[in-house]
Structure 1
Amino acid sequence: MISSQDARDTDTGDLLVWILAWSELVAFGALLTAFVVASVLHPEAFAAGKARLDHTLPIANTIVLLASGWLAAKAAEQKAVTRRRLLLLAAALGGAVFGGLKCLEYAFEGASLLSGDPFSQLYLLITGFHLTHVAFGSMILVLVAVFPTRENVHLITTLWHVIDIVWLVMFPVIYLL
């Protein structure tokens, strides 16, 4: 039986985290919708833009982000605080690796991303916005590793999974379709 204190402990912040999660999904949904609409309006620019993208680093990033999400989920299951901390730090490291690979991808693309065509503008806006979320989420994972209460871990892992979901939708829309 769950005591009233246990119920309060598990409900704290849930409304806020779901408001944040849904607002993130709406924001990225709008950006990806704009990307799809622009690809219909400028098919040549988008075909050329997608043709110059290499898929190796984005595929590696997908694996890294999914592994990081798995580590965060495992952290949420842990009763031992030390294990929870280590898993959160490992998840944050995954976010840092994702960021490094994304920056490497930007470097490989180089000047072609600065050409100003519709594809490049939206590609940089969407992937840069996501990268900002990954960087911020990684920092919060580290902060929560310092204060790994069940409530804190629940909040950040939920948001971290939203970042994963966004990437899992972004990846095929930007790189494959």
Structure 2
Amino acid sequence: MTDQRTRRRVEAGGRRRPSTHLPGDGHMWFMVLGDLFIFGCYFVAYMVFRAKAPAEFLADQQHLNITLGVVNTIVLITSSWLIVESVHAARAGNRGGAIGLVRGVMFCGVLFAVIKVYEWAAEIQAGYTNSSTFFSFYYVLTGVHLFHVALGLIILGVVIRDLRNPRRARVSMVEQGATYWHMVDLLWVVIFALLYVMR
């Protein structure tokens, strides 16, 4: 039976069709979809409150540092590209390359967190606390997102630990880390659009 399958592959040009599958596993996707639902509720609530007081929201929005927001967006988009490349490296059996790329993703995550904390400190020092509805949403959305960034860094640390051990190295683990990190990036893009860009 095995010989017949091999013969068929050879007759078809010796090429195997790449198998398609959903990266990661069901537990990770359950977690990701649950987080997207929760953030989606926050986003809807933000839009409802903004519709009730557009002038107040717009006035407070002017105090955000859009330059830092753009920089953080570029940082996370770069990290998304790196995590994709790390999955490709892991699938190709290049564990060393995958580890280096995941470290690059972690560096981007730490840089994002440092910039965000600096931005928070500057806004609080200027007196923009959660006393207004806009800044209440701002600190909750960016704070919960930063928590997810921190959790993502822990997950990526586990990915590196597994990649270092040939017995534990699994492509699926790298894919799970990538799935979670893409969610973190996607959420930030929506947060950036709602809080910094939308007028």
TM-score, with length taken from structure 1 = 0.89
Q: Is 1:81 aligned to 2:95, yes or no?
A: yes
1:68 is aligned to 2:79? yes
Q: 1:115 Cα shift? A: 4.5
Partner of 2:197: 176
CA 1:12 to 1:26, structure 2 compared with 1: closer, same or farther past 3 Å?
closer
User: What are the ranges of 5 or more consecutive residues in structure 1 without an aligned counterpart?
Assistant: 2-6
Greater helix percent: which structure? Answer: 1
2:86–2:101 contact (8 Å) kept in structure 1: yes
Partner of 2:144: 129
| Whole-angstrom CA distance in 2 between matches of 1:13 and 1:85 | 18
> Offset of 1:11 from its aligned partner?
7.2
Which of 115, 120, 133 is residue 118 of structure 1 equivalent to? Answer: 133
Tell me if the contact between 2:24 and 2:175 (Cα under 8 Å) persists in the aligned partners: no
Is 2:23–2:175's contact at 8 Å kept on the other side of the alignment? no
Amino acid at match of 2:142: T
One-letter code of the match for 1:146?
R
Q: Which has the larger radius of gyration?
A: 2
- Aligned partners of 2:56, 2:171: CA distance in 1, in Å? 48
The alignment status of 1:46 with 2:46, answered yes or no, reads: no
Indicate the residue corresponding to 1:147 in structure 2.
162
Q: Residue 128 of structure 2: SS of its match in structure 1? A: helix
- Structure 1 stretches of 4+ moved >3 Å: 10-13
Code of the residue aligned with 1:160 in structure 2: it is W
Superposed CA deviations along residues 60-112 of structure 1, whole A, max 9, x for unmatched, are: 00000011111111110112111111111110110000000101111121243
Q: How many residues align?
A: 170
Task: Pick the aligned partner of 1:18 from 29, 35, 45.
Answer: 29
- Tell whether the 8 Å contact from 2:83 to 2:105 is kept in structure 1 after alignment: yes
Q: TM-score, normalised by structure 2?
A: 0.80
SS for the counterpart of 1:82 is helix
Structure 2 unaligned regions, length at least 5: 6-18, 164-169
